[in-house]
């Protein structure tokens, strides 16, 4: 290396300058440091911003799917599958997507912090800004139905690691021993108010329709997948099912919250009617016995005894 000129008699500031220059040149030579072009710094900066944007988009998707799950499940007929709304929501909360949102938020913080001016922003500013953008993006995606699309698409293309809401719903309702079936009508109902249906596992059932309302039978006759609520016959008639309610299958297509709310309200109203019928029959029997009047009761109805009816919350004043 070229020797530095002597600095005898030079000012102290000049000596320090020469020493600093010497140290820098020595370090560059020892560590083999090479200068980098401006384009490399610009490329790194752009990559960091793109990674930050990608994490915000991922967080927005997580928000959209979570909103889809929460709002759809709010109007589910939880009385048919769970003891309470609280236990139902504990099981259907999208824990996976909440975790995705948290991880995406942490990654967005990391990438923004490492941009050229990222150190200037305070932690609350970065976190708050990223969260607000993700929430706004998620709400927007949910409004246009993308939460449903992402959930259904993942369930169709990667079912081995992601269970869509349609898959969860099928698990809840394909439980014949608990009085629930996912099925489709095969042919027309027979004159004796009996229908042949095929469930989600390909098994055929003879379904008694005698206690169904007109709306229930109309829904069954559409030929589309439906959810049957009722009671399985025991013993030798294990492939027979007594239907008490028919609900449309709501997870093959996107439905508005108004549609979900209307479906739930109609189903609850019909279940309450089953309960009112049972109570009215019990009252007539009791009044007749009290008055000493002979009363021939109607054939025993089964729908007033199913768990979904018993779990209904009482009306105001009941």
Q: CA-CA distance, 128 to 186, in Å (whole number)?
A: 55
What mean pLDDT comes out for the span 164-180? Answer: 91
* Same domain (yes/no): 116, 197: no
* Same domain (yes/no): 207, 189: yes
What mean pLDDT comes out for the span 269-292? Answer: 74
pLDDT of res. 39 = 56
Q: Which residues contact 88 (CB under 8 A, 6 or more apart)?
A: 73, 76, 78, 81, 82
Question: Any idea what the CATH number is for the domain that residue 310 is in?
Answer: 2.40.50.140
pLDDT above 60: residue 110: yes
Q: How confident is the model at residue 11 (pLDDT cuts 50, 70, 90)?
A: low
pLDDT above 70: residue 253: yes
DSSP 311: T
- On whether residue 1 sits in a domain, the answer given is no
Selection from 24-38, 91-105, 274-288 with the highest mean pLDDT: 91-105
Q: How confident is the model at residue 293 (pLDDT cuts 50, 70, 90)?
A: low
Query: Where among 164, 193, 226 does a domain terminate?
Result: 164
Token pair in block for residue 230: 């009722």
* Same domain (yes/no): 49, 150: yes
* Same domain (yes/no): 198, 291: yes
- On whether residue 6 sits in a domain, the answer given is no
Q: CA-CA distance, 32 to 106, in Å (whole number)?
A: 35
Q: What is the pLDDT of residues 85-105, one digit of tens each?
A: 888 888 888 888 889 888 887
What mean pLDDT comes out for the span 250-277? Answer: 88
pLDDT above 50: residue 27: yes
Q: How many domains does the chain have?
A: 2
* Same domain (yes/no): 152, 189: no
* Same domain (yes/no): 199, 217: yes
Contact predicate 147/64, CB 8 Å: yes
* Same domain (yes/no): 42, 111: yes
Contact predicate 116/42, CB 8 Å: no
Q: What is the pLDDT of residues 42-77, one digit of tens each?
A: 666 677 677 778 888 999 999 999 999 998 888 888
pLDDT of res. 216 = 93
* Same domain (yes/no): 209, 288: yes
* Same domain (yes/no): 159, 179: no
Q: Which residues contact 154 (CB under 8 A, 6 or more apart)?
A: 162, 164
Query: Where among 114, 142, 164 does a domain terminate?
Result: 164
More confident residue, 178 or 238: 178
Query: Where among 132, 164, 196 does a domain terminate?
Result: 164
Q: Which of 206-210, 250-254, 286-290 has the lowest mean pLDDT?
A: 286-290
Going from the C-alpha of 217 to that of each of 119, 185, 228, the distances in angstroms are 65, 10, 11
- On whether residue 192 sits in a domain, the answer given is yes
Token pair in block for residue 269: 């109203």
To the nearest whole percent, how much of the chain has pLDDT over 90?
29
Within 175-242, residue ranges assigned H as helices are 214-220
**Mean pLDDT (the chain, rounded):** 80
- On whether residue 10 sits in a domain, the answer given is no
Contact predicate 173/227, CB 8 Å: yes
Token pair in block for residue 182: 């996912």
**Domain with 194 in it:** 174-318
pLDDT above 50: residue 316: no
pLDDT of res. 127 = 74
What mean pLDDT comes out for the span 247-259? Answer: 87
Contact predicate 167/155, CB 8 Å: yes
Selection from 17-21, 227-231, 271-275 with the highest mean pLDDT: 227-231
Phi, psi of 306 (to 5 degrees): -75, 155
- On whether residue 14 sits in a domain, the answer given is no
- On whether residue 139 sits in a domain, the answer given is yes
Query: What pairing do the DSSP bridges indicate for beta strands 226-232 and 240-248?
Result: antiparallel
pLDDT of res. 33 = 59
pLDDT of res. 205 = 93
Within the chain, residue ranges assigned H as helices are 12-31, 38-74, 85-92, 95-113, 123-143, 146-157, 165-173, 214-220, 257-291, 307-310
- On whether residue 27 sits in a domain, the answer given is no
* Same domain (yes/no): 127, 210: no
* Same domain (yes/no): 114, 189: no
What mean pLDDT comes out for the span 262-290? Answer: 79
Contact predicate 263/248, CB 8 Å: yes
Measure the CA angle with vertex 244, ends 242 and 249; round to 5°. Answer: 105
pLDDT of res. 18 = 58
Contact predicate 226/220, CB 8 Å: yes
The neighbouring-strand residues paired with 240 are 206
- On whether residue 108 sits in a domain, the answer given is yes
The overall longest dimension of the chain from CA atoms, in Å, is 132
Query: What pairing do the DSSP bridges indicate for beta strands 204-208 and 240-248?
Result: parallel
Reported pTM: 0.74
pLDDT above 80: residue 6: no
Please report where in the chains the tokens 């490492």 appear, as a residue: 114
What mean pLDDT comes out for the span 106-111? Answer: 74
pLDDT of res. 61 = 93
pLDDT above 70: residue 226: yes
pLDDT of res. 35 = 58
* Same domain (yes/no): 223, 125: no
pLDDT of res. 45 = 65
Token pair in block for residue 313: 């919350």
């Amino acid at each position: 290396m070229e020797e530095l000129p002597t600095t005898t008699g030079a000012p102290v500031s000049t000596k320090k300058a020469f020493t600093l220059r010497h140290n820098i040149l020595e370090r560059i030579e020892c560590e083999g440091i090479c200068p980098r072009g401006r384009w490399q710094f610009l490329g790194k900066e752009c990559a960091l911003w793109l990674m930050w944007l990608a994490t915000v988009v991922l967080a927005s998707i997580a928000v959209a799917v979570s909103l889809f799950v929460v709002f759809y499940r709010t109007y589910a007929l939880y009385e048919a599958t769970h003891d309470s709304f609280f236990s139902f929501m504990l099981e259907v909360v999208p824990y996976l997507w909440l975790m995705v949102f948290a991880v995406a938020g942490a990654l967005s913080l990391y990438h923004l912090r490492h941009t050229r001016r990222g150190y200037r922003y305070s932690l609350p500013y970065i976190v708050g800004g990223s969260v607000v953008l993700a929430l706004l993006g998620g709400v927007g995606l949910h409004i246009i139905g993308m939460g449903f699309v992402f959930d259904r698409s993942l369930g169709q293309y990667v079912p081995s690691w992601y269970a869509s809401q349609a898959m969860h719903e099928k698990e809840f309702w394909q439980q014949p021993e608990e009085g629930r079936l996912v099925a489709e009508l095969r042919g027309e109902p027979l004159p004796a108010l009996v229908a042949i249906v095929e469930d989600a596992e390909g098994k055929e059932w003879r379904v008694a329709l005698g206690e169904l309302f007109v709306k229930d039978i109309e829904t069954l006759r559409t030929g589309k997948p439906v959810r049957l609520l009722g009671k399985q016959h025991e013993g030798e008639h294990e492939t027979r099912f007594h239907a008490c309610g028919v609900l449309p299958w709501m997870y093959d297509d996107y439905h508005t919250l108004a549609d979900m709310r209307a479906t739930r309200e109609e189903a609850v109203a019909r279940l309450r009617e089953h309960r009112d019928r049972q109570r009215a029959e019990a009252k007539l029997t009791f009044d007749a016995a009290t008055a000493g009047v002979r009363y021939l009761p109607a054939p025993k109805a089964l729908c007033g005894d199913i768990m979904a009816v018993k779990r209904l919350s009482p009306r105001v004043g009941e």
